[in-house]
Amino acid sequence: MTVSLHHCPAPAKLNLFLHVIGRRPDGYHLLQSVFQLIDRCDMLHFDLRADGRIVRTTDVPGVPEEQDLIVRALRLLADEFQRRHGRAVPGIDVAVDKILPMGGGLGGGSSDAATALMAANQLWQAGLSADELMALGLPLGADIPFFIFGQTAFVEGVGEAMQPVAGPDCWYVVIEPGVSVPTPAIFGAVDLTRDTKPVTISDFSRDQSAQNELGGFGKNDLQAVAVRLFPPVAQAVEWLGSYGQARMTGSGACVFCAVSSESKADEVVAQVPAAWKAWKAKALARHPLKSLLQNRAVV
């Protein structure tokens, strides 16, 4: 995987479990989840400009430039730069090789935005800390802070409270059931379970150390709603379930299953019905850009 400040992978995540334990007065849900990065990535390419503009140079079907989380995040960073340094940013061109599906529960849009924030923070020498970048990104997407955190995490709150946790070092099979799931429709459903009993980080860690990672700790509370509203998600869970514990990630639509080896992943992917896209992925310990920057004081 080529990684530089000009060519950055933006990795996907899987929610190994996702519990909804309450709801804030503003309607956002209080979650508990373990987020695991995987080595399936969008690729972002950056070039500095001299005219202060932020320009997306590739077309992303279904996402106009003005609505793109990358562009919106970079504009927030440019505003913050102006406040701190009293001058405008040089500007930036961003090209996107879009691999991760939209409405897939893999966090692709948030990962792109988080990766762009980290890269531009360096390229512009904006000087924000990781915590400051996370606070900047949170209003745009609840998953953005996690991707800036950049390693397996036990995540709480609406997505802003993170603790590092050892994730399983395993392979996954992921199915894209061919539907795009709108996150607000899942969180807004009347039948969503919102009162799952809170767990602790050590409950998850104990389960992992018992070598139980292929079985899967906890559940995904969003799954029952998504399988009701989107039958292809239900079909993918049922199909993959014959190879292990199949679970939806995020608010769907993608469904995954942990497997013991790369060859087992290849074997399962080869069996997946042609109507669905499927691929193998390996758990990733750190965001590739964080690894590149790990010796620097700021991300």
Question: What residue ranges bind ligand C5P (CB under 6 A)?
Answer: 28-29, 31, 141-143, 158-159, 183-184, 187
Nearer residue to ligand C5P within complex by CB, 18 or 236: 18
Looking at the DSSP bridge assignments, the partners of residue 258 are 172
The size of the chain, in residues, is: 299
Q: How far is the CB of 31 from ligand C5P (least distance, A)?
A: 5
User: Is 22 labelled a binding residue?
Assistant: no
41 and 12 in contact (C-beta within 8 Å)?
yes
Residue 209 marked as a ligand binder: no
Q: How far is the CB of 272 from ligand C5P (least distance, A)?
A: 28
Ligand-binding site membership of 127 (annotated):
no
Which residues touch 116 (CB under 8 Å, ≥6 apart)?
Answer: 10, 44, 46, 70, 73, 74, 94
Catalytic residue list contains 143: yes
Smallest separation (angstroms) from ligand C5P to the CB of 241: 26
Residue closer to ligand C5P by CB (options 107, 216) is 107
Q: Answer yes or no: are the C-beta atoms of 133 and 144 closer than 8 Å.
A: no
Q: Is 106 a known ligand-binding residue?
A: yes
Q: Which is nearer to ligand C5P, 51 or 191 (CB)?
A: 191
Task: Give the active site residue among 42, 68, 143, 221.
Answer: 143
Nearer to ligand C5P, 36 or 110 (CB): 110
> Considering only CA atoms, which of 199, 241, 250, 186 is closest in space to residue 35?
250
**Least distance between ligand C5P and beta carbon 294 (Å):** 27
Q: Write the DSSP assignment of 184-253 as a string of letters.
A: HHHHT-TT----PPP--HHHHHHHHHTT-TTT-SS-BTTHHHHHHH-HHHHHHHHHHGGGS--EE-TTSS
State yes or no: 62 annotated in a binding site. no
Could you give the C-alpha distances from 215 to 10, 66, 240, in angstroms and in order? 28, 42, 13
CA distance 106 to 149: 16
Position 101, amino acid: P
Q: Could you tell me which residues are annotated as the binding site for ATP?
A: 101-111
Binding-site residues, please?
101-111
Please identify every residue annotated as catalytic.
Answer: 13, 143
